[in-house]
Amino acid sequence: MLIDGRPMRTIWAAPDGSVEIIDQTLLPHKVKVVALRTLDDAVRAIADMQVRGAPLIGVTAAWGLALAMRADATDSGLAQARARLAAARPTAVNLAWALERVGSVLAPLAPSEREAAAQREAVAVAEEDVAACRRIGEHGAVLIAEVAARKGKVNLLTHCNAGWLAAVDWGTALAPIYVAQERGIDLHVWVDETRPRNQGAALTAFELGQAHIRHTIIVDNAGGHLMQHGQVDLVLVGADRITRTGDAANKIGTYLKALAAADTGTPFHVAAPSSTIDWTLGDGVSEIPIEERDADEVRYCEGALPDGRLARVRVSAAGSAAANYAFDVTPARLITGLITERGACAASSAGICGLFPERRPEALQIA
Amino acid sequence: MLIDGRPMRTIWAAPDGSVEIIDQTLLPHKVKVVALRTLDDAVRAIADMQVRGAPLIGVTAAWGLALAMRADATDSGLAQARARLAAARPTAVNLAWALERVGSVLAPLAPSEREAAAQREAVAVAEEDVAACRRIGEHGAVLIAEVAARKGKVNLLTHCNAGWLAAVDWGTALAPIYVAQERGIDLHVWVDETRPRNQGAALTAFELGQAHIRHTIIVDNAGGHLMQHGQVDLVLVGADRITRTGDAANKIGTYLKALAAADTGTPFHVAAPSSTIDWTLGDGVSEIPIEERDADEVRYCEGALPDGRLARVRVSAAGSAAANYAFDVTPARLITGLITERGACAASSAGICGLFPERRPEALQIA
């Protein structure tokens, strides 16, 4: 997608064997490219959320293994790198998926072959993510076009950032919006701020602004009111982990929007590539691990001062404790449908199996 | 209640005929007392949220009429003062209620008698609010004690600030918590941050800290997750306007918490004095006016820099639009019960009539 009219991705290989990313902690205030040269760099980039979004975390982890293999391509080096990357963030399953995929390619190889193989595999993971996101966009755009055909223009609501900044390109929940824009559909997007890290106000609004898509930032509290008053035609969100039964973990607060959508009859769709599906899990609420992050993300708010310097201000009473759960789980019963690279389906084992028949044996185990 | 161990109220008469308030826009960072000397001062204090919270807005409006009568006690002065105060904030009905109450006392009087009468009535409104809030606390504490008897300790969740800072003393939703504390019940309160103005993180956490009540600040997105995981025994919120049918307007985002409470079987109670009931309205979602405030409250976040200076930082992408709906309406079907100065009741015409039989003719009109 574009930044200041120039095509960009969120992660790419540099000629010197390092990997470059956009430091997303500085957006929307600064567009700064950072080089990752070591396993440590990759782990820190994921944990500190210089890169974030389930698909991008997966791709960064794949590249992290390639960087690790430059320094130590032994079996123990590989095992350590996998363990450290896997621990960087617990909720998104794409991380574990990418590590398993690249790791299983590397394991049978001689150490001398591992760096190059990891790079090839990381490139493949990234390219497949781009293609999957584009297909998600095309499948999801059909849903948007249906509303447009009925109502003329379409009001969408999204939570957090599941745009191209959360993936390599196109994004997941925003991909259908970009494709719908290509097709000339009149769109407006309500953008949830998404405290505590404001990925909606900072990243989604930035993306949509760069793409010249009409949008309005709202606080996380406002979506229910808008849905009550018919101001939202469709809710589109991403996911960090989807169970084989269709429960979806996504940024904290997604569950509240799904409840409002169900209460008001607003369609609520979850868009994610199949790498986000955890075929081993049947009950999202009890089984998906929920990351707890530093309480200071809640106590403080980061942004730009009038002179452009970045600063954080304490918004909370001094001495008060805070808790920072990063994700919640939306039960499948509240999800109108899933949108994957293979198409849209019901948020259920049967729906998912219909699109991924080769996973049927896993998906239909004890539900 | 106490600030630094000293008993305080939110508004009081000064010896020189002015009225003093705590400037709540500076809390929790500074405790600054401000004198209101004119009608303009009172209107600005309400509109700019130096005072906020439905009961306190009502009392401030009553005092605003007294200040107005010092300058112009004619019929037209009275009419103008009523109109300007009424327009300061549209959603809380306590404002209109207090103006009607004081105004109807003043109207038949000679202009020369109006200032003193307005002061007497403002004092009466304030004292009645204190007594009503204390009684709300006693009635609500019964609900908390029931949970304590069953579970030992009680986890509550509240949204925005409906504590003593929102009233004259005691508060509405927090009053039961203060009374339960007096009775030795083991309490912990989850405090919703309440963007965009952070009244939870700033005011409720400040109040609870001053009262030595255990509490944890969370972002507005987090309450659903906590309820899903059994971490909330009881939700207690205030209200800015309650219809005769039990629908309740309260700070934006309350509806989302009510949905989560209903979905998880968590009791959800609305605490408010009867001055918050609008007997003329039957359908809250369609009939209660919802204030829209400055979009910059959403684009920016205010707080304290590390050196203690107050500042605001821009959290949103430059050039993005924002919308700022200040309240939403929770339908009665999602409310377990109302807590008023006369006791607890179902959120319905029948429930409200049971407590306020003298209002039955109004309350049971077309529902």
* Contact between B224 and A322 using a beta-carbon 8 Å cutoff: no
Question: 0.80 cut: is pTM over it?
Answer: yes
Beta sheet of B241-243, edge-to-edge order: B277-278, B241-243, B248-251, B327-330
Distance from CA of A8 to the nearest CA of B (A): 18
Report whether pLDDT(A82) > 80: yes
Distance from CA of A110 to the nearest CA of B (A): 46
Q: Which of A354-363, B32-41, B97-106, B271-280 has the lowest mean pLDDT?
A: A354-363
**Which of A304, A318, A323 is nearest residue B28 as measured by Cβ atoms?**
A318
Give the chain B residue whose CA is nearest to the CA of A322: B217
Q: How far apart are CA B202 and CA A314, in angstroms?
A: 9
Give the chain B residue whose CA is nearest to the CA of A319: B209
Give which of B190, B193, B197, B221 to mutate to test A binding, by max A Cβ within 10 Å: B221
pLDDT digits (tens, 9 = 90+) for A325-341: 999 999 999 999 999 99
* Contact between A321 and B216 using a beta-carbon 8 Å cutoff: yes
Q: Where residue A11 falls among pLDDT bands split at 50, 70, 90?
A: very high
Q: Where residue A362 falls among pLDDT bands split at 50, 70, 90?
A: confident
ipTM of the complex: 0.96
Q: Where residue B367 falls among pLDDT bands split at 50, 70, 90?
A: very low
**Is B240 an annotated catalytic residue?**
yes
Task: Provide the 3-class DSSP secondary structure of residue A292.
Answer: strand
Residue A268 pairs with which residues in a beta bridge? A235
What is the structure's pLDDT at A367? 46
Report whether pLDDT(A346) > 80: yes
Which of these, B120, B135, B131, B123, lies nearest to B59 by C-alpha position? B123
* Contact between A205 and B328 using a beta-carbon 8 Å cutoff: no
Give the chain A residue whose CA is nearest to the CA of B285: A228
Q: What percent of chain B has pLDDT over 90?
A: 97
Beta sheet of A241-243, edge-to-edge order: A277-278, A241-243, A248-251, A327-330
Q: What percent of chain B has pLDDT over 70?
A: 99
Query: What are the start-end ranges of the E strands in chain A?
Result: 2-3, 6-7, 11-13, 19-22, 33-36, 153-158, 186-192, 215-218, 234-237, 241-243, 248-251, 268-271, 277-278, 300-304, 310-314, 321-322, 327-330, 337-340, 343-345
pLDDT digits (tens, 9 = 90+) for A21-53: 999 999 999 999 999 999 999 999 999 999 999
pLDDT digits (tens, 9 = 90+) for A49-70: 999 999 999 999 999 999 999 9
What is the structure's pLDDT at B361? 86
pLDDT digits (tens, 9 = 90+) for A160-174: 999 999 999 999 999
Q: How far apart are CA B22 and CA A304, in angstroms?
A: 29
* Contact between A317 and B263 using a beta-carbon 8 Å cutoff: no
Two tokens, residue A211? 């793409």
Which position among B41, B169, B233, B240 bears the catalytic label? Answer: B240
Residue in the block written with tokens 């009001």: A155
What is the structure's pLDDT at B362? 83
Residue in the block written with tokens 């939703």: B173
What's the mean pLDDT in A265-292?
97
Give the number of A-B residue pairs with CB atoms closer than 8 Å.
233
pLDDT digits (tens, 9 = 90+) for B14-30: 999 999 999 999 999 99
How would you class A3 by CB atoms within 10 Å of its CB: exposed for 0-12, middle for 13-18, buried for 19 or more? middle
Give the chain B residue whose CA is nearest to the CA of A208: B320
**Which of A260, A301, A318 is nearest residue B313 as measured by Cβ atoms?**
A301
Which position among A129, A192, A233, A240 bears the catalytic label? Answer: A240
Q: What residues in A contact B190, CB-CB < 8 Å?
A: 323
Two tokens, residue A275? 């790498």
What is the structure's pLDDT at B193? 98
What's the mean pLDDT in B259-277?
98
Chain mean pLDDT for chain B: 97
Give which of A30, A232, A237, A255 to mutate to test B binding, by max B Cβ within 10 Å: A255
Chain mean pLDDT for chain A: 97
What is the per-residue burial (b if ≥16 Cβ within 10 Å, else e) of A181-198? beeebebbbbbbbbbbbb
Q: How far apart are CA A12 and CA A16, in angstroms?
A: 12
What's the mean pLDDT in A84-108?
96
